Amino acid sequence: MDKQADVIIVGSGLAALQLAHHLHSSYHVIILTKTMIRQSNSYIAQGGIAAVIDKEDSIHSHVEDTLKAGRYHHFTEEVGRLASEGAGAVKELIASGFSIDREADGQPSLGLEGAHSARRIIHSGGDATGRYTVEHLLERLPVNIDIIEGEMAYECILSKDRSTCLGVKTKNKDGMIRRYWAPHIVLAAGGAGAIYPFTSNQPTLTGDGIAMAFRAGAEITDMEFVQFHPTLLFIDGATKGLISEAVRGAGGRLVDENGIRIMDKIHPLKDLAPRHITAYEIYQTRANGKSVFLDIRSIPHFEEKFPTVTALCERNHVPISKGLIPVAPGSHFLMGGISTDSNGCTTVHGLYAIGETAHSGVHGANRLASNSLLEGLVYGRRLADFINSQVAADKKREETFGYKEQMKNRLAAELSREDLQTRTMKAAGIIRTQENLASHISYLEDKGFQKWINSGLDELNIENIEKVYMHINSYLISLAALLREESRGAHIRTDFRTEERNWYGKRIVQTIAGIKIRGGQHERDQIRIHA
Ligand code: SIN
């Protein structure tokens, strides 16, 4: 059965809810989530929201910290908007009754995280800020918003000439297909952390929004920039969840198994160095056969300050009283994504992207800690303002693009999720080389890349669609990582160890038609054809 709305939002994290809140109350809005409304990365976010609310702090300094951490690979104007509109959005949230953590004298309790030059991280419920923020917005969700759980949006419905997105198709676990139509389709489906074996993300974060937009013909930018969080709880060869950077902000120190501090000689900010530097150092120490621990013995009242981390450790039988938490890095955040303008418009008419799914240009080559919930607040609001200002055009549903062939369940079933995760980590993980990337790309092409982008997915079950999407994301990341012959931010090539002047300002843009290097002094023409 088909459904019609004014706005369809795919995803249920902070960006999605902020957008829903600010859309005009006369719009019928549908939020689609493939799992449950609370199963988002935002919900489990332990970090806070970076915002300039202290008189001693400044927008200029927040912008500078963001640019420095991301190695000056940003859309600088967007970073200015993020910092200044972000401060306003946080104040607005507080004015709506959102309760933030405060000092005994009532002043906001402001935390410090890696690469921030000032205390500017607000928290709510300590390290449960994501949950508190999402719950705050859910409690106040306007009546014009319908939430549909357990349906995975898997394909954009396009006009016959493929220029316009008219709706999305969804599938539930029983294989039932539904069509949702709206003049505005928003992808807010998070990143692709689950394509790696170690991740802080929900296992459902399989890059769905990015793969859908890519298949619909939208531009995808700078997928090579994947942030690895330095500290995930590491037990018996597997990661079990995030140990917030705020723990290091409160005095936690990284030590090897002999108790030697590993960051002291590496960076002036030591344990609070930018994430790519800390993650790399932990990775190398572990590769040299030594375990790494977060020493929390100097942090008073740890359990009170970090209830989520404490519960995670207890669940995994790591005693907080011993003061040493075993850690390893894992995929955390994708700086690249669907190319958008300042409002969240993609290159396909009627299709929008916000939050981690989008490449808005605010994170550069490496995101500054606690700027992502902020991005959700700012760009959710910006897109709402944009959509509220549009007059919906009449669209003809019958003239839709159709795939000539349908991909078969049998073909997708041959893809292995675990195998892909291991291979993606080896080729496009913390350390990359030309040789590993090229061989991974050949492997993905042999597995059927052309089919994944050119066939319809109606015949596939959800599990197989997710695998196809994971493979597409792995391909986009690996190809961009192969082309960028330098190291910048989170993209570390051992065969090109430094930042290269001739790569400064250049973006790698992919569509189903091919791949371009854009920006810098000269824009090169298409240099490789996908389809
Ligand atoms: C953390 O708490 O360490 C994560 C925060 C973030 O990624 O912004």
Q: Is the CB of 250 under 6 A from ligand 1?
A: no
Residue with the nearest Cα to atom 8 of ligand 1? 370
| CA of residue 129 to ligand 1 center, whole Å | 10
Residue 356 Cβ contacting ligand 1 at under 6 Å: no
Report pLDDT digits (tens) over 337-380. Answer: 999 999 999 999 999 999 999 999 999 999 999 999 999 999 99
Give me the percent of the chain exceeding a pLDDT of 90: 92
47 CB within 6 A, ligand 1 = yes
Q: Using CA atoms, how far apart are residues 340 and 357, in angstroms rounded to an integer?
A: 10
Judge contact between 147 and 9, C-beta under 8 A: no
The Cα 219–Cα 435 span in angstroms is 26
- From the candidates 248, 275, 488, 507, give the one annotated as an active-site residue: 275
State mean pLDDT over 289-315.
Answer: 96
Structural tokens at position 172? 């539930």
- In short, whether 244's Cβ falls inside 6 Å of ligand 1 is yes
Among 41, 62, 113, residue to substitute to test ligand 1 (most atoms within 8 Å of Cβ): 113
Query: Across-strand partners of 145?
Result: 29
- CA–CA dist 321, 347 (Å, integer): 53
Rounded to the nearest angstrom, the distance between the alpha carbon of 244 and the centre of ligand 1 is 6
How far apart, in whole angstroms, are the C-alpha atoms of residue 280 and residue 286?
10
Q: What is the CA radius of gyration of the chain?
A: 22
Q: What is the pLDDT of residues 49-84, one digit of tens each?
A: 999 999 999 999 999 999 999 999 999 999 999 999
Rounded distance between C-alpha atoms, residue 279 and residue 276, angstroms? 5
Residue 381 predicted with pLDDT over 90: yes
User: Do the beta carbons of residue 41 and residue 205 sit within 8 Å?
Assistant: yes
Is the pLDDT confidence value at 102 over 90?
yes
Q: What distance in Å separates the CA atoms of residue 352 and residue 354, rounded to the nearest whole number?
A: 7
Residues in the chain: 531
Q: How far apart are CA 449 and CA 471, in angstroms?
A: 8
Instruction: Ligand 1, residue 368: give the atom nearest the CA.
Output: 8
Lookup: tokens for 44 = 């489990």
Closest residue CA from atom 4 of ligand 1: 47
pLDDT digits (tens, 9 = 90+) for 444-496: 999 999 999 999 999 999 999 999 999 999 999 999 999 999 999 999 999 99
Please give the pLDDT value at position 391: 76
Confidence of residue 524 (pLDDT cuts 50, 70, 90): very low
> What is the distance in A from the centroid of ligand 1 to the CA of 233?
14
Ligand 1 touching residue 331 (CB < 6 A): no
Helix (H, G, I), strand (E, B) or coil at 509: strand
- Give the distance (Å) from ligand 1 centre to CA of residue 146: 30
446 CA distance to ligand 1 middle (Å): 37
Q: Which atom, in ligand 1's list, is nearest to the CA of 127?
A: 2
Looking at the DSSP bridge assignments, the partners of residue 221 are 337, 509
Please state the atom number of ligand 1 nearest to the C-alpha of residue 370: 8
Beta bridge partners of 234: 239
Question: Ligand 1, closest atom to CA 243?
Answer: 3
| pTM, rounded to two decimals | 0.95
Write down the pLDDT at residue 446. 95
Q: Would you kindly state where each structural domain of the chain is located, as residue ranges? A: 229-330
| Distance in angstroms (rounded) separating the CA atoms of residues 266 and 263 | 5
Category of 80 on φ-ψ map: left (φ > 0), alpha (ψ -120 to 50) or beta: alpha
Write down the residue that tokens 């199963």 correspond to. Answer: 39
- Kindly state if the Cβ of 279 falls inside 6 Å of ligand 1: no
Beta bridge mates, 261: 255
C-beta atoms surrounding 5 within 10 Å: 22
Cα-Cα-Cα-Cα dihedral of 233, 239, 241, 245, to 10°? Answer: 50
394 pLDDT more than 80: no
Say what percent of the chain tops pLDDT 70: 96
User: Mutual orientation of helices 372-388 and 14-22 as an angle, nearest 10°?
Assistant: 30
CA 334 – CA 191 distance, rounded (Å): 6
Average pLDDT, integer, range 149-168? 97
Under 8 Å between Cβ of 24 and 183: no
Nearest residue to 20 (alpha-carbon basis) of 385, 346, 380? 380
In this prediction, residues 112-138 reach a mean pLDDT of 94
Average pLDDT value for the chain = 94
Residue closest via CA to ligand 1's atom 5 equals 47
Helix (H, G, I), strand (E, B) or coil at 398: coil
Q: Is 370 in the pocket of ligand 1 (CB under 6 A)?
A: yes
CATH number of 229-330: 3.90.700.10, 3.20.20.70, 3.40.50.300, 3.40.50.2000?
Answer: 3.90.700.10
**What pLDDT does residue 113 have?**
85
Whether the predicted pLDDT of 253 surpasses 70: yes
Query: pLDDT tens digits, residue range 416-441?
Result: 999 999 999 999 999 999 999 999 99
Sign of CA dihedral 83, 89, 92, 94: negative
Regarding beta strands 226-235 and 324-334, do their DSSP bridges make them parallel or antiparallel, or are they unpaired? Answer: antiparallel
Q: Is residue 278 within 6 Å of ligand 1 at its C-beta? A: no
Nearest to 397 by CA among 153, 48, 157, 61: 157
Q: Compute the distance from residue 49 Cα to the ligand 1 centre, in Å.
A: 9
Query: What does the DSSP assignment read for 438-459?
Result: HHHHHHHHHHTHHHHHHSB-TT
Residues 6+ apart with CB under 8 A from 420: 195, 467, 470, 471, 474
The 8-class DSSP code of residue 503 comes to G
Distance from Cα 91 to the centre of ligand 1, integer Å: 21
Say how far apart CA 430 and CA 410 lie, in whole Å: 33
Residue 522 has pLDDT above 60, yes or no: no
Of 117-121, 182-186, 303-307, 523-527, give the lowest mean pLDDT range: 523-527
Exposed, middle or buried, 531 (CB in 10 Å: 0-12/13-18/19+)? Answer: exposed
Q: Is 275 a catalytic residue?
A: yes
Pocket test for ligand 1, best of 245, 305, 375 (most atoms within 8 A of CB): 245
Residue 273 or residue 336, greater confidence: 336
How many whole angstroms separate alpha carbon 510 and alpha carbon 508? 7
Instruction: Give the pLDDT mean for 231-251.
Output: 94
375 pocket-lining for ligand 1 (C-beta < 6 Å): no
Alpha-carbon span 230 to 250, nearest angstrom: 16
